[in-house]
């Protein structure tokens, strides 16, 4: 079985229209989102490293524990690794994240002779991104989060929820990597929508467009979703509230066929 369910529209203009329609539908459903108060750039960078493979609550517990144990980033940088690992234990994968954080702090110090990243405010988005990406352990998602939420510079971070929503709606394909998704989605959306689109797509992915069993019956963007349209056709069911449990296997089968092609 071959499906075009995960293939985006043919032209860049139609991808942009598609992305805009999804953004507007989410604004109508959720409203304009408000995130927490922005953190300084280095705080956001460390917080994002802690967020990997965990939820926001565990990330915040680990971050607060780290700052209580070590009041300055210089102290974190120079601490015994075991002490940092212990402090960030709530975030999970502490044996990996602790050394990674300390190594990034050391790299920044070597490069800039300081851990004050306020100078990034005066750089262009491209230059700030390039500067941050020099450091091992700092990837496109981390950089985009720092740019968007700390430096107020246009960037569209893509996490696992946004990648899943974008694949199912056809904004990207099943073959699109996380790094490619950052570029493609940033091109598809106007810069002024990045903040709200990012937060609303994450919320949709967490609450409705979940990985194992998406709640398509209450989803506000089914009119713009290839995943819903394909599975509804395959199931030959007209009541969308009655077939959520049948959809995942159909889409996975189609995706496997696409990957073979």
Q: Is 259 a catalytic residue?
A: no
Report the interhelical angle of 178-188 vs 12-30 (nearest 10°): 80
How far is it, in rounded angstroms, from Cα 228 to Cα 245? 12
Long-range contacts, 75-81 (Cβ 8 Å, 24+): 76/46, 76/101, 76/102, 76/105, 77/102, 77/105, 77/106, 77/109, 77/115
Catalytic one among 134, 136, 141, 175? Answer: 141
Q: Sign of the C-alpha dihedral, residues 8, 12, 14, 19?
A: positive
Query: Which residues 6+ apart lie within 8 Å of 28 measured at CB?
Result: 220
Active-site amino acid positions: 141
């Amino acid at each position: 079985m071959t499906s075009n369910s995960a293939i985006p529209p043919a032209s860049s203009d139609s991808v942009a229209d598609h992305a805009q329609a999804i953004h507007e539908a989410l604004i109508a459903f959720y409203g304009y989102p408000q995130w927490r108060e922005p953190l300084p750039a280095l705080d956001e960078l460390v917080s994002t490293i802690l967020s990997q493979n965990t939820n926001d609550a565990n990330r915040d517990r680990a971050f607060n524990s780290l700052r209580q144990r070590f009041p300055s980033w210089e102290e974190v940088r120079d601490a015994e690794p075991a002490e940092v690992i212990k402090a960030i234990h709530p975030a999970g994968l502490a044996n990996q994240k602790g050394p990674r954080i300390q190594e990034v702090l050391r790299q920044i110090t070597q490069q800039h002779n300081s851990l004050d990243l306020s100078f990034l405010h005066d750089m262009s988005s491209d230059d700030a991104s390039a500067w941050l990406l020099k450091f091992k352990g700092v990837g496109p998602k981390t950089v985009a989060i720092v740019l968007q939420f700390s430096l107020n510079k246009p960037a569209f971070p893509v996490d696992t929820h946004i990648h899943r929503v974008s694949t199912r709606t056809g904004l990207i394909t099943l073959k699109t990597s996380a790094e490619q998704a950052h570029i493609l989605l940033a091109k598809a959306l106007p810069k002024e929508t990045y903040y709200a689109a990012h937060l609303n797509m994450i919320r949709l992915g967490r609450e409705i467009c979940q990985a194992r069993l998406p709640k398509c019956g209450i989803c506000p963007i089914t009119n713009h979703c290839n995943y819903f349209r394909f599975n509804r056709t395959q199931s030959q069911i007209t009541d969308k509230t009655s077939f959520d449990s049948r959809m995942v296997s159909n889409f996975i089968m189609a995706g496997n066929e696409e990957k073979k092609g």
